[in-house]
C-alpha cells in the first residue's frame, strides 16, 4: 500500500528510521512545493537498515519551510520513504519480502520480474512521477562493506554523469542487477544512486544532505561531457555470488569456502592477476560470476589453484563484505573495470 501526502506530518522529522512504521504505516510518497515546479525525486530506505538517506532528509528539511524552517525549497521535492517495515527491525528486508530495490519496472523476463504487491507499488510510483515531470532522481543507500562514497548511473548520458559527479569523482556505471530504482527512473529523467558508506557513520548522511541541497539548487544539467580530470568512471562487468548450497565463513578453515576476514580492504583497489579471494579444500567449490547478460563468466575472471581461488585477470571489486547475511541476500561483490572511452 502506498500513502501519498502533500505535507510533512508533524513530528516526522524527529523520528529515527525504526520509528517510521508506527508513524506512517507503510511506504509513503510525499510531495512538497518549491520555487521551481519540476520536482527532484528522492528515495530513501529501500533497504530498511540503510539509514543515511532518511537522516540526510531530516537534516535538509529542517532548513526549509515544509519541515518547519524559514526558507522555501528551491525546487519541488517528491520523497519516497520505502521499506518502513524492515526499517523497524533494522534489516535490509523482512523474511519473505522481496528486495525493495529489485522490484522496480523494466525487468520483464528476468529473475526480478514478478506480480507481487511490491512490484505493483513501484509501477504505480513510476507512473505517478512520470506525470509530474521529474527533474532528476536520487536513490540513497549505505553499503555493508568498506567502500568509498560514490555515485552510480545506468546510462552513459552526460546529464546523468554530471549529476553523479556532483557527489564525487568516483562514479560506477552498471546495467545489472535490474529492477533497481535508478534504472527505472532513468527512463523518465536523469537518475543516480548514491552509496554513502557504512550505516551509522554520520559523514554519509552529511555528504548526502549537502548533495541534495546542491541538487535542489540546480536550474538544469549540462549536456556537454564531464571533464576527464573530474571523474573516475568504472563499469560493473560482473556480479559475484556464493552458490546457495555452499557453506562459507570468514577466516574459518572448517568452512567449505573460507573467505579472508579482511576481504573488504580490497574494495576499489585495482587487483592484479593472481590475487587470492578465497580458499577451499574441495576442488568442486567455486564462486559464481555472471556478466551483464547473465552469462556464466566464472572461468573468465577466476581460477582455482592448490586450494585457492584467485583472480585470472586484473580487475577492481566493489561492495565486498564480511556480512554473511548480506552475502546471502544480495551478493559477495561486483567486479569492475575502468571505463574512460567516452570522456573527452
**pTM reported for the whole predicted model:** 0.91
Is the pLDDT at 17 greater than 60? The verdict is yes
Long-range contacts of 170-175 (CB under 8 A, 24+ apart): 170/232, 170/234, 170/268, 171/231, 171/232, 171/233, 171/234, 172/233, 172/234, 172/235, 172/236, 172/318, 172/336, 173/233, 173/234, 173/235, 173/236, 173/339, 174/235, 174/236, 174/292, 174/334, 175/236, 175/292
CA–CA dist 40, 190 (Å, integer): 10
pLDDT above 70: percentage of residues in the chain: 96
**pLDDT band, very low/low/confident/very high, at 229 (cuts 50, 70, 90):** confident
Q: Taking residues 33-40, report their average pLDDT.
A: 96
Residue 4 cell numbers, joined: 501519498
Pick from 247, 319, 329: nearest CA to 282: 247
pLDDT at res. 26? 97
Residues 6+ apart with CB under 8 A from 81: 20, 24, 27, 28, 29, 30, 44, 45, 54
> Any idea which fold 3-226 has?
Aminopeptidase (3.40.630)
Is the pLDDT at 341 greater than 90? The verdict is no
Residue that is written with C-alpha cell 578453515 in the block: 253
CA dist list (Å): 251 to 69, 262, 324: 50, 9, 12
* Beta-bridge partner residues of 140: 194
**pLDDT band, very low/low/confident/very high, at 9 (cuts 50, 70, 90):** very high
User: What SS3 class is residue 302?
Assistant: strand
Least confident of 53-57, 171-175, 340-344: 340-344
pLDDT at res. 144? 83
CB 92 within 8 A of CB 329: yes
Is the pLDDT at 68 greater than 60? The verdict is no
CB 238 within 8 A of CB 335: yes
User: What SS3 class is residue 230?
Assistant: helix
Is the pLDDT at 217 greater than 80? The verdict is yes
Is the pLDDT at 2 greater than 90? The verdict is no
Is the pLDDT at 133 greater than 80? The verdict is yes
**pLDDT band, very low/low/confident/very high, at 70 (cuts 50, 70, 90):** low
Q: Where in the chain is the domain with CATH 3.40.630.10?
A: 3-226
CA–CA dist 27, 2 (Å, integer): 5
pLDDT at res. 342? 53
CB 68 within 8 A of CB 29: no
pLDDT at res. 131? 95
Q: Taking residues 40-53, report their average pLDDT.
A: 98
Pick from 64, 88, 86, 83: nearest CA to 74: 64
pLDDT at res. 65? 67
Q: How many Cβ atoms sit within 10 Å of the Cβ of residue 245?
A: 7
**pLDDT band, very low/low/confident/very high, at 69 (cuts 50, 70, 90):** low
pLDDT at res. 228? 84
Encode pLDDT of 145-156 as tens digits. Answer: 889 999 999 999
Q: What is the mean pLDDT of the chain?
A: 93
Amino acid at each position: 500500500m502506498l500513502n501519498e501526502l502533500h505535507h510533512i506530518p508533524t513530528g516526522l522529522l524527529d523520528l529515527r528510521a525504526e520509528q517510521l512504521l508506527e508513524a506512517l504505516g507503510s511506504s509513503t510518497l510525499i510531495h512538497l512545493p518549491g520555487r521551481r515546479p519540476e520536482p527532484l525525486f528522492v528515495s530513501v530506505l529501500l533497504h530498511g537498515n540503510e539509514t543515511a538517506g532518511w537522516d540526510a532528509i531530516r537534516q535538509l528539511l529542517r532548513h526549509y519551510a515544509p519541515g518547519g524552517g524559514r526558507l522555501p525549497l528551491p525546487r519541488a521535492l517528491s520523497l519516497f520513504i520505502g521499506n518502513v517495515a524492515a526499517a523497524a527491525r533494522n534489516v535490509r528486508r523482512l523474511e519473505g519480502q522481496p528486495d525493495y530495490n529489485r522490484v522496480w519496472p523494466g525487468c520483464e523476463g528476468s529473475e526480478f520480474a514478478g506480480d507481487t504487491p511490491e512490484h505493483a507499488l513501484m509501477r504505480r510510483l513510476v507512473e505517478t512521477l512520470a506525470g509530474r515531470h521529474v527533474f532528476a532522481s536520487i536513490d540513497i543507500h549505505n553499503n555493508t562493506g568498506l567502500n568509498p562514497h560514490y555515485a552510480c548511473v545506468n546510462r552513459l548520458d552526460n546529464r546523468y554523469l554530471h549529476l553523479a559527479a556532483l557527489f564525487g569523482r568516483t562514479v560506477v556505471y552498471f546495467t545489472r542487477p535490474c529492477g533497481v530504482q535508478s534504472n527505472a527512473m532513468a527512463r523518465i529523467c536523469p537518475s543516480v544512486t548514491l552509496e554513502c558508506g557504512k550505516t551509522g557513520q554520520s559523514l554519509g548522511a552529511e555528504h548526502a544532505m549537502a548533495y541534495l541541497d546542491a541538487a535542489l539548487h540546480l536550474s538544469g544539467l549540462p549536456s556537454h561531457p564531464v571533464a576527464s580530470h573530474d571523474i573516475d568512471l568504472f563499469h560493473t562487468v560482473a556480479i559475484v555470488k556464493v552458490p546457495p548450497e555452499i557453506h562459507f565463513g570468514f577466516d574459518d578453515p572448517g568452512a567449505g569456502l573460507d573467505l579472508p576476514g579482511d576481504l573488504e580492504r580490497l574494495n576499489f583497489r585495482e587487483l592484479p592477476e593472481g590475487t587470492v579471494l578465497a580458499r577451499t579444500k574441495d576442488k568442486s567449490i567455486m564462486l559464481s560470476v555472471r556478466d551483464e547478460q547473465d552469462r556464466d563468466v566464472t572461468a573468465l575472471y577466476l581460477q582455482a589453484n592448490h586450494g585457492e581461488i584467485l583472480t585470472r585477470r586484473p580487475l577492481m571489486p566493489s561492495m565486498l563484505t564480511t556480512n554473511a547475511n548480506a552475502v546471502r541476500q544480495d551478493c559477495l561483490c561486483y567486479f569492475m573495470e575502468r571505463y574512460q572511452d567516452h570522456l573527452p
